[in-house]
A and B are shown apart, each in its own frame.
Chain A
Amino acid sequence: MTTAVHPLRRPRARIRAASAARYAALIAGSAVMVLPFLYMLSTSFKSQTYVLSIPPQFVPHPATTANYSAAWASDDFARYFVNSLVVAICTTTLSLLLSSMMAYGFARFRFRGRELLYRLLLLGLMIPAMMLIIPQFVLAKYLGLIDSLTGLVVFYVAGSLPLNTFLLRGFFAAIPVELEQAMRVDGAGAWSRYRRLILPLAKPALATATIFTFLASWDEFAWSLTIITTPSKQTLPLAISLFQGQNSTLWNLVFAASVIAVLPVIAVFLIFQRYFVQGLTSGAVKG
């Protein structure tokens, strides 16, 4: 099929009308999705006077980048950005290492209790993170992990393990066993098969898990709100929400900081779109 429409026997005018209606609906819908972001971007370049003016300013005039320099330098958002980056990178690295090891163990070995362990792990997919926040706080306090970036990373990693292991296990299991047997014949042990065969072949699944984990920890809010008290240890979402709470009318600054927080996400999403779709659908198809 080369044309945009179905090769059904309909009058050409009707086909064209249907196609136009389809595009009109799509454009209207995506405008609703995107315009709030554009308005936010616009406000981030406004000076304070025009932030809530009636009628609203759509194109900032006069446009200023003062909000960005203020947010980045004097309001310490550079530090929050680094904190977020460190937390997200450490979380992703650790989670990918641990979940790929678990996935390999579950996919390629048969042993007593395997099903039970795997089911327990999948239980973690069903229990939403917020339900555990009170006992996790008590536990973090006991372990001395309160008010530290380590406390964020450790709990983010634990929370991300079920989904990543589930995702990777499915992919590992689909890798032909014969390849591994050939390596075994050559004397390669389990670790070397995991490192030299499974991981390289599973790059697409690892990419999917990487993106989901990175974005989840980059965007996480509730846990950091609960355990972080020192301002210099805040991550971006926490810092933005607290900043807005204290300066409820400085929307231009709030949104300059928000744009700083959102841009990496959008970049990652645009570059790795393909893996998003794979990750989402593997959950749906098997779910």
Chain B
Amino acid sequence: MTTHLDSEAAPHTGAAGHPPAKDRPAIGGRLRIRPPQGGRRRNSATQGGAARTALTFIAPGFLLFAALIIYPMVKAFQMSFYDWNVVAGAASDFTGFHNYVKAYHDPVFWRAAANSAVYMALTVPPQVVLGLLVAMLLNNKAPGRALFRVLFYLPVVTSWVVVSLLFQYLFADSGLVNWMLHDVTHLTAKPTPWLAGRWTGMAVVSALGVWKGVGWSMMIFLAALQGVPKELMESAAMDGAGPWRRFRAVTLPAVRPAAVFVTVMLVIGGFNVFTSVLLVTGGGPADSTQVLLTYMYQQAFKNLDFGYGSAIAVLLTLLVFVLSMIQLRVFRDEPEEAA
């Protein structure tokens, strides 16, 4: 992919102000009629020209990225060591690890961490399993396949705000879900106050997460299943392998890289749950359904404790990073793993 044009310099750059010398690149570059010494010098000059040209393409975007993404990364780390003063221009006190010690002794922080872990545990496995299941059901040329794919993907493209409010409405005290569980099927003796308790609240938020995310993992698995050779399936069937054996021996190894990708992304996404918790339960009642990000947000923008909020953000980043590394290592131990 990066062959000729890379090592060869761009002949001129309009932006850098070189005159466009129409004939030069063709002669110098291809016909090799220049003297060796002059050629070498020209070559190094054009190398520099290539870098300059490349940088005129890269610099505008990269500077913006560096200023608004990389700088804040460093800044978050720095802020977590300060009792950050929100007033512009006012000095902030360096407090060392105080914010981290505070987190260690903060029961709400630990509850938020536990809730994040619960959310992850309740949402990641169902999304992987259901996503793969739906993808396998859709993986043939049956009529209606395109329609089903769209229907399952619809929640994915809808904004978190809208679906969060929708779930709050569905799980309201006199909402649709209670009506079905209580009035229709009589599974519950009285309407469940879903959003008034920690575990029921987490269940609603997790249900929302799974419902919104299944379509995404389905798409990834569908793409991976395209790579499973039909002949392999057929010959396995000829050899008398039942559906379960075929699934274990042919399908699973083929979708393994996709499963790794999906799992890692969903774990990261699970710890990043924010909007749905904020809008469905608001972290309540009494902070019982706070997750790490809603708690971070509350500390920063309600209590104006930017330093503590940053410490929570840094801890979460480290946690996500370590978990991703562990997952990649665990999955890599398997022989089929290629990526």
Contact = CB atoms under 8 A, between A and B. Distances in A.
Contacts of B275: 221-222
Given A131-B76, A240-B161, A161 B10 contact: no
B233 interface: yes
B319 to A, nearest CB: 11
B62 A280 contact: no
A134 B64 contact: no
Nearest to B305: A134
Contacts of B160: 219, 221, 237
Q: How large is the interface on B (under 10, 10 to 19, 20 to 34, 35 or more residues)?
A: 35 or more
Contacts of A89: none
A110 B237 contact: no
A22 B159 CA distance: 30
A39 to B, nearest CB: 6
Contacts of A126: 268, 321, 324
B224 A284 contact: yes
- Tell me if B's interface is mostly helix, strand, loop or mixed: helix
A270 B61 CA distance: 31
Contacts of A180: 5
Given A26-B138, A54-B174, A187 B75 contact: no
A285 B321 CA distance: 21
A98 B154 contact: no
A241 B309 CA distance: 23
Nearest to A36: B166
B62 A121 contact: yes
B58 A117 contact: yes
A34 B153 CA distance: 10
B142 interface: yes
Contacts of B146: 273
A109 B6 contact: yes
Interface in B186-214: 211, 214
A86 interface: no
The winner among A112, A134, A266 for most chain B CB atoms within 10 A is A134
Interface stretch (B47-55, B104-112, B114-122): B47-55
29 contacts: A23-B142, A25-B137, A30-B152, A33-B152, A40-B166, A40-B169, A54-B179, A98-B64, A101-B61, A102-B57, A105-B55, A114-B54, A120-B70, A124-B69, A126-B324, A128-B272, A131-B317, A134-B313, A135-B79, A138-B306, A139-B67, A187-B25, A189-B10, A221-B160, A241-B165, A265-B159, A276-B153, A277-B223, A287-B265
Which 3 A-B residue pairings sit nearest by Cβ, starting from the closest? A105-B57, A109-B54, A98-B61
